[in-house]
Amino acid sequence: MAATVVRNAEWMIGWNAATGRHEYLRDADLAFEGDRIVFVGKGYRGAAEREIDGRGRMVMPGLVNIHSHPASEPFNKGLMEERGSTKLGMSSLYEFMLLVRPPPEAARAGALFAVSELLRSGVTTFTDYSLPRPHWMQDLAGTGIRACLAPSFRSARWSTPDGHSVRYDWDEGMGREAMAAALELVDGANTHNSGRLFGMVAPAQVDTCSAELLQAAVAAAKQRNAPIQLHAAQSVVEFREMTTRHGKTPIEWLADIGFLYDGAIIGHGIFIDEHSQIRWPYEGDIERLASSGTSVAHCPAIFGRRGILLQNFGKYRRRGINIGLGTDTFPHNFIDEMRWAAVLCKVSASNVEATSLAEIFHAATVGGAKALKRDDIGRLAVGCKADLSLVDLRHPTMQPLRDPLKSLVFSGLERPITDVFVDGKAVVAEGRVLTIDLPAVMEAMNRGQRQALENAPSLDYAKRPVEEIFPMTLETGR
Ligand SMILES: [Zn+2]
């Protein structure tokens, strides 16, 4: 098998194993053969069956997204951007999210749409944290992306009867059965013939899973050497609920039941004891996360839109917590999420030096890879997966060109990304996603959102009309 070589790349983001950091390389070559990188550096002299001219281009490692809900979130566009419950800590989880339920066929289309956005923004590995859906593995495998299937399960459902309180309905049997089905999917992903799927054990939320269910989930994850993820410390309501139930913060309770360890990911880890909206009298949550080796999935956009901040990314990092990034919402534009992460950290700390783009980029690549228990992705190094993208340095958004990563994240976003490879195969070329029929997917997604909105009032506690639940930005004139 002969190699593909990107020759004389003007800029490249290489991995320095000695320092454990990414670094810029100039006028470098990168070669890959099959699904693996075989050369990174100057002057590749091996055989090549295909040459890509690297002049005017930057070669960048594929980005790693450790938290997303692609089958549901695309349908919230135009609805949820400015919607949260002011009497439930600004969260949209209890009053609004439950009202938008696209039919299964539409959910498939929404997921493909989300994957197209992820690929387009340079993501080569993503985590699909969702309720199991038909054709899940087949659909994801067909897109060419590397996907971590995270089929979610829980032992309680929440609802609000009035917009200011939350009720939990428990059914332990439901949780156990759903976990058994989820583990079958995890095992199926780990042995899928595409070689690009793998599995995560994914209990849904700290306040909807019993201690027994979470402990069984940890045992199943350890047995498989699979990562495990749980939503926790994600809302004020959840923090109050857990302290009411147990007299412990959500993170403290998880530490005590044995959930925190180096294979665990907490999405989103915002409402810890020292958060300014909490002000719990005892501090220890950051230390609990850091000393256990637990990772945090940081998804700033969806929270930032509701006035909620993780306080703060830089502090978590300095205290030793591994962080990966995720797109918990639409758009599934990972570069945009990186920009939110950088800016909101500085805003929450009132300090321009609270974090750096280098630190954000580390989280977006190797931080995420570590959380997913992978050391073969998120970096350009010999032996790693050939997951990478090419950035057009001549794109107007990259000009003037001095520091290409800064130009990309603060100015260009996904626009200058022209080509994306996963396992050495092209999935985006000339800025177009090759593996997804976008017009068909968009039509099905629009139809699905209309259907979901027809049902929304019947699911609302007050049976409000759609226009009242999700007001339009402007009134319609005559
Ligand atoms: Zn989430």
Q: How many angstroms does the Cα of residue 68 sit away from the middle of ligand 1?
A: 6
Q: How many angstroms does the Cα of residue 67 sit away from the middle of ligand 1?
A: 6
Q: How many angstroms does the Cα of residue 385 sit away from the middle of ligand 1?
A: 27
Q: How many angstroms does the Cα of residue 461 sit away from the middle of ligand 1?
A: 23
Separation CA 238–CA 244 (nearest Å): 10
CB atoms near residue 172 (< 10 Å): 12
Q: Mark 392-425 as b/e (b = at least 16 C-beta within 10 Å).
A: bbebeebeeeeebbebbbbebbbbbbbbbbbbbe
Q: How many angstroms does the Cα of residue 3 sit away from the middle of ligand 1?
A: 39
The string of pLDDT tens digits covering residues 257-313 is: 999 999 999 999 999 999 999 999 999 999 999 999 999 999 999 999 999 999 999
Q: How many angstroms does the Cα of residue 404 sit away from the middle of ligand 1?
A: 31
Secondary structure of residue 259 in the 3-state scheme: coil
Band (pLDDT 50/70/90 cuts) for residue 422 is: very high
Pairing of strands 48-53, 3-16: parallel
Band (pLDDT 50/70/90 cuts) for residue 218 is: very high
Q: How many angstroms does the Cα of residue 415 sit away from the middle of ligand 1?
A: 26
AA identity, residue 208: T
Q: How many angstroms does the Cα of residue 337 sit away from the middle of ligand 1?
A: 14
pLDDT at residue 2 above 90?
no
Name 148's bridge partners.
127, 198
Q: How many angstroms does the Cα of residue 277 sit away from the middle of ligand 1?
A: 20
> Residue 478: what pLDDT?
87
pLDDT at residue 1 above 80?
no
> Residue 428: what pLDDT?
98
Q: How many angstroms does the Cα of residue 129 sit away from the middle of ligand 1?
A: 7
Where helices occur in 12-53 by DSSP H, the ranges are: none
Band (pLDDT 50/70/90 cuts) for residue 14 is: very high
Band (pLDDT 50/70/90 cuts) for residue 38 is: very high
- The answer to whether the predicted template modeling score (pTM) of the entire model surpasses 0.85 is yes
Tokens representing 83 are 């919607």
Separation CA 330–CA 79 (nearest Å): 11
The string of pLDDT tens digits covering residues 74-107 is: 999 999 999 999 999 999 999 999 999 999 999 9
Separation CA 455–CA 262 (nearest Å): 42
- As a whole number, mean pLDDT of residues 217-241 equals 98
